Amino acid sequence: MAVNAYFSRRALMRATFAAVLLLLPLSCAVLAAPAVREDTIVGSPPALAPGQAPPLPQAGPLAEPRSSNQVGFPAVLTQYVISPATLRPARIALGQKLFFEPRLSGNGTVACATCHDPARAFSDGRPVSIGIHGRVGQRNAPTVLNALYNKHQFWDGRVTTLEQRAALPITNPFEMGSASIGDAVSRIASDKDYQTQFMQAFGRGVNEQDMLSAIAAYERTLASFDSPFDHFIAGDANAISDSTKRGWKLFNIKARCHLCHALTDNQRDPTLFMDNDFHNIGIGILRHHVAPLAQQAERELAQGHLPAIDTAAITSEMSVLGRFLVTRKESDIASFKTPGLRNIVVTGPYFHDGSMQTLWDVMDHYNKGDGITDPWLDKDMQPLALSESEIDDVVALLASLTSPQYKQIGDQEYARQLATSKVNRPQRDTGRAFGPKPKQPPPPPL
């Protein structure tokens, strides 16, 4: 596993264990109190009429920027990844408003929040996202919480900054479908309130660059920690159950999760649960003929042409090629970014294609080391021989990563998934989980 530590490890540990550190100017500008929506929602959202985009969520208290006053908040890392100048309150407020602005879409129906709903921890609860005119994409919407720490954005890492990231969905034909960014800007440019807010935030009129900066500034305030697990790491031994404590041990030893969901292979990492790297873990590839798709990508997509890659990733079967779309390296075929795991119980369904319904399905996938017929499967994937109670322990750990704003929906969703797992375990294969590591086939000629 590549070690992509982009900050001093000791500094990170110091920051993580210090309970409360207020290093950001944003802390005075934003709310601290956890808010819980009363009409919390669990499970899948309702089906839509054909041709219809999902309803636009309202900006409630859960849309507010998060404070740095959270147990487990990585102050040093945060200072490293964002310059405080970008976090001016006027910019954040403008970005928050733009995040809910449907006029940025081609027909005024879709905003960022359509697929990144604050009530669902900034995801949408669907296997794959649905955008303008009800068009169904190929990929699951990841949370925007903690995206500020991502070294790469998107499942395949095709862009690295939140500014670039904000531009792409506005013109993607399956997401917001604007003819151009300029087009989207022109639809809000005549709005008096926006004119005033842009002036306050940037000292000039409505324009494309500042619009993207404002959205990114808002996203950079969405740090999410303060979970029961963080309180445990900070020293409160009673913050999590015994099962969860066993789950944390299993995560770092027998279940091998830390090999990818931590910055290094040999140190426990309680911060972001990702390695800033890409792996093929056998999702999706089992159902697709990859070699012809790779040939198609070579033929049809100019290498490095970002809009073409973006469209292919969201709208075509080539989506399954993952990181390969960006790098054209055979070893990257069907590899995807390791996502962080915070608030994970709230952000299902799981994986880049939303193909798994519960965290028990996720565990069954890893337990059997799925992907025998996948020649590019990551070498760290292997059968784990986890018992049923060990699986429950790791799921308990995952559920302990829920920030206080989502405690209620997290508890409900955990109960719902548990009930589902009692009657339906489509991924379970105990024979394989306790069997030997299968031989990997050689890659086919491309």
Q: Where does this chain bind ligand HEC (CB under 6 A)?
A: 110, 112, 114-116, 129, 131, 137, 139, 141-142, 144, 147, 150, 153-155, 162, 165-166, 169-170, 175-176, 215, 219, 255-257, 259-261, 279, 281, 283, 313-314, 336, 338-339, 341, 344, 347, 350-352, 362, 366, 378, 380-381, 394
The torsion region of residue 273 among left (phi > 0), alpha (psi -120 to 50) and beta comes to left
Alpha-carbon distance of 310 to 94, in angstroms, equals 26
Complex with ligand HEC: residue 301 or 344, whichever CB lies closer: 344
- The span from the CA of 301 to the CA of 299, in Å, is 6
21 or 78: CB nearest ligand HEC? 78
Q: Phi first, then psi: give them for residue 123, nearest 5 degrees.
A: -125, -170
| Nearest CB to ligand HEC, comparing residues 21 and 341 | 341
Q: How far is the CB of 288 from ligand HEC (least distance, A)?
A: 12
CB of 142 to ligand HEC, least distance (A): 4
Of residues 8 and 387, the one with the C-beta less far from ligand HEC: 387
Minimum distance of ligand HEC from residue 128's CB (angstroms): 7
Q: How far is the CB of 232 from ligand HEC (least distance, A)?
A: 17
Long-range contacts of 81-85 (CB under 8 A, 24+ apart): 81/148, 81/149, 82/148, 82/220, 84/24, 84/25, 84/26
Q: 117 pairs with which residues across the strands?
A: 123
The candidate with the shortest Cα–Cα distance to 298, out of 288, 286, 307, 308, is 308
Report the distance separating Cα 209 and Cα 91, nearest Å: 12
* Shorter beta-carbon distance to ligand HEC: residue 21 or 66: 66
Rounded distance between C-alpha atoms, residue 76 and residue 206, angstroms: 34
Minimum CB distance to ligand HEC smaller for 92 or for 115? 115
How near is the Cβ of 25 to ligand HEC at its closest, in Å? 22
**Of the two residues 175 and 370, which places its CB atom closer to ligand HEC in the complex?**
175
Query: Whole-number minimum distance, CB 49 to ligand HEC, in Å?
Result: 16
CB of 221 to ligand HEC, least distance (A): 13
Helix 388-399 vs helix 359-367: angle between axes, to the nearest 10 degrees?
Answer: 130
Give the other-Cβ count within 10 Å of 388's Cβ: 13
